Amino acid sequence: MPCYTKYRRIFSLLVMVLLLWNLEASGSKPMTKADSLRVEYQNAKTDTARIKILFKIGYQFLNGPSDSLIFHFRKSLEIAEKNLQRIGQAGGTKNAELVVTYKKLAIRAFIEIGIEYFFQSNYPLALENFFKGLEFSEEIDDIDLISECASEIGIVYKNQGKYEEALKFDNKALKYAEMGTDTSWIASCFVNNGSIYYQKGSYTVALKNYLKALKIFELLGHNKRIEACYLNIGKVYYEQNDLDKAMTYFRKALDIAILENEKTGEAGCYLNIGGIFSDKEQYDSARYYLNKSVELSRELGYKHGLDDCYSYIGITYLKENKLGEALEFYNKALKISREEDDRPGIAESLGNIAGIYYLQKQYSKALNKALQGLDIARESGNLPIMRNVYKVVSQIYEAMGNQTVALKYFKLYSRVKDTLFNDGKYRAIRELEAKFETEKKEQQLALLKEQSRVQDLKIIQRNRMMLAFLFFFILAAIAIYLYFRNKRLKSKHKNIELEQKLLRSQMNPHFIFNSLIAIQSFIYNNDAILAGDYLAKFADLVRKILENSRIESITLENEVKTIELYLELQSLRFENKFNYKIEVESEIDPQKIKLPPMLAQPFIENAIEHGLRHRQDKGFLFIGFNKIENHLKLTVEDDGIGREKAKEIERARKHKSLAMAIVKERIDILSKKFNERFILRVEDLYDDSGKAAGTRIVFEIPCL
């Protein structure tokens, strides 16, 4: 989407307007902006100053007329080139800095002129200016300007359907952008890259680029660019036939476009919303939005996008079986696409016209148009258009009685259709979005914690102020005190929930760390089969941990499955050094009983790490779940070396166990949250001779 260049120009304009504002403020007589710029130009003492003023005048015509903008930038370019010629004739190294200054000004003029020719659909002149700008940029080795010029060239090639050339220059733009520090421009390159892959039908890659860009723009608060990302993401979902999801993104984009008075983006939103209403067979609504897009495009003076509008309007008439009206709009779209040299647009329009002739049973004319469109679509590599034209060609040959060729093209149609859409690809798209939303929520959680801390400080300050006025406003002070006490209780409850999530996040890395030791040991022993088996089970275990860490409670069934997987992994790690048994009382329904996640794991971990692993022979571990009234009783019993002997070993190793400390903190927080006691007992076991024979942990919690 080329609108990013417009935003960049608007930013430059704002900087220049601020300079102009300061000059106007010093005057004694109110002046219009045009008068002020004319006076400023007449009084300018240097050519660099005159060029910058011409830039400011040119930027006043961002929304048209287009020729006025080109005129002022051409005038500024003439001044820059005249000075470069003069300096080149003079020679000498002391003018090198001045050469760089004038070349940068010339590059800016080339870019702005090229952009305006692009929106006039004059692609040859647009490319001529962008390539001149790129040549100057490489001469002065300015990475930002090289990136910008390469990006503009990529956008033109994309609109011409030359996707490989477009990718070549867009990748160059991204490479140089990442060498700089402008994260906003890096994100813009991601969007342009995504748009090329979108046209090629690589929707997963396109969405990945759009989400990267969206993340950056949201951090920077760039609403206009967020709007463009929403619009592009909506297009991806539209191509995957998820119309509701697509409509959600188009509506979000439209709201921002209207708020920011971004007419180009607004026209794009109306176009895509109209397409969805057409697919939902709401043709009057579809044409309402499509005509709004046409009006805006004409108002802006840009043909780009009009061909898509006319194509969509033609589709609505086709679905109503109004073939004459449909053909009229398809021909309008074809005319504009040819004027723009928009190869994919030409191919699409030819395919649509062929479809009308097919319905009118003019098979020869239909086949001629369809094959023309197919050749162009294949040349550009546009899979969505190839899919549509293959289908039309197949239908025409079938109607003409040539079943063999019809089947051939139907197979080609099916193959491309499957390439563009399948369940696996759609799941990948949804997973990308889910990952993006998860990361956003985690950032919001961190921000919430910081806001909570700031809120606590504010409460303390307000309480101090309240005490200062206590003696003078007794009655008012009591009311304020009660109000803030209520807020403190809410804040405290929120802090408790945050602390509980924090403790769960502490347990997860502790849990994962111990499991990773096993993978390391197998790798060191060069046991590839066991290492692979262990890694697969470990991946499943990590998935469960990540799933459970995001929720307050899980079912007993889920907890038992996680324990079984953990014990199986530990058994592999210690080479079957111990046997184990998990017993759930028959009266308990594991699917109905809920408990905080990873409740038993620290006790099991201690039993294995500090008890069973130090036995000379094979040990045994028992885990039992019983229900006592409205409490769930967890028992973890091992026949290891006992706590005293384990402490001696740990002191010698200088190792400090964190598991029990985390458990005790967690019990305190859970007790406060549920206002009930959580009972924890640790019992040392001895044999008949009084020798340590293991440890028993009994943990009682209220049923959730």
For the cut 90, the answer to whether the pLDDT of residue 130 exceeds it is yes
Residue 606 is predicted with a pLDDT of: 85
* Number of domains observed in the structure of the chain: 1
Distance CA 231, CA 194 (A): 12
Most confident range (mean pLDDT) of 230-244, 247-261, 506-520 is: 247-261
CA distances to 199, 280, 327, 366, 470 from 314, rounded to whole Å, are 21, 15, 7, 17, 75
Written as one letter, the residue type at 117 is Y
Sheet holding 619-628, edge to edge: 578-584, 619-628, 631-638, 692-702, 679-686
- Contact (CB, 8 A) for 426 and 240: yes
Q: How high is the pLDDT of residue 456?
A: 61
pLDDT tier at 133 (50, 70, 90 boundaries)? very high
Q: What is the pLDDT of residue 432?
A: 52
Q: Work out the average pLDDT over 644-662.
A: 71
Residue 649 falls inside a structural domain = yes
Q: What is the mean pLDDT of the segment spanning 536-561? A: 82
Higher-confidence residue of 475 and 192: namely 192
Select from 186, 195, 142, 150 the least CA-distant residue to 168: 150
Q: How far is CA 33 from the centre of its chain?
A: 41
pLDDT of residue 489: 64
Instruction: Output the pLDDT for position 209.
Output: 87
The model's pTM is 0.45
* 3-class DSSP assignment, residue 215: helix
| Domain span holding position 625 | 531-702
Q: What is the pLDDT of residue 512?
A: 66
The rounded distance, in Å, linking the Cα atoms of 57 and 44 is 14
Answer yes or no: is pLDDT of 175 > 70: yes
HEC string of 455-513 equals: HHHHHHHHHHHHHHCCCCCHHHHHHHHHHHHHHHHHHHHHHHHHHHHHHHHHHHHHHHH
Quick check: is 146 in a domain?
Answer: no
* Average pLDDT of the segment spanning 458-475: 68
| pLDDT average, residue stretch 589-614 | 86
Average pLDDT, stretch 588-615? 86
Give the pLDDT mean for 651-656.
64
Answer whether residue 434 shows pLDDT above 70: no
User: Is it true that the peptide bond before 602 is cis, omega within 30 degrees of 0?
Assistant: no
The answer on pLDDT for 117 being more than 90 is no
Among the ranges given (12-26, 79-93, 362-376), the one the predictor scored with the smallest mean pLDDT:
12-26
Predicted local confidence at residue 525, as pLDDT: 74
What's 642's domain CATH number? 3.30.565.10
- The 10s digit of each residue's pLDDT in 288-314 is 998 998 888 888 776 767 888 888 898
Dihedrals phi, psi of 698, to nearest 5 degrees: -120, 125
Conformation bin of residue 141: beta by default, left when phi > 0, alpha when psi is -120 to 50? left
Rounded to whole angstroms, how far apart are CA atoms 352 and 331? 9
- Does the residue 266 lie in any domain? no
Looking at residue 13, what is its pLDDT? 44
536 in a structural domain:
yes
Give me the mean pLDDT over the 278-295 stretch. 89
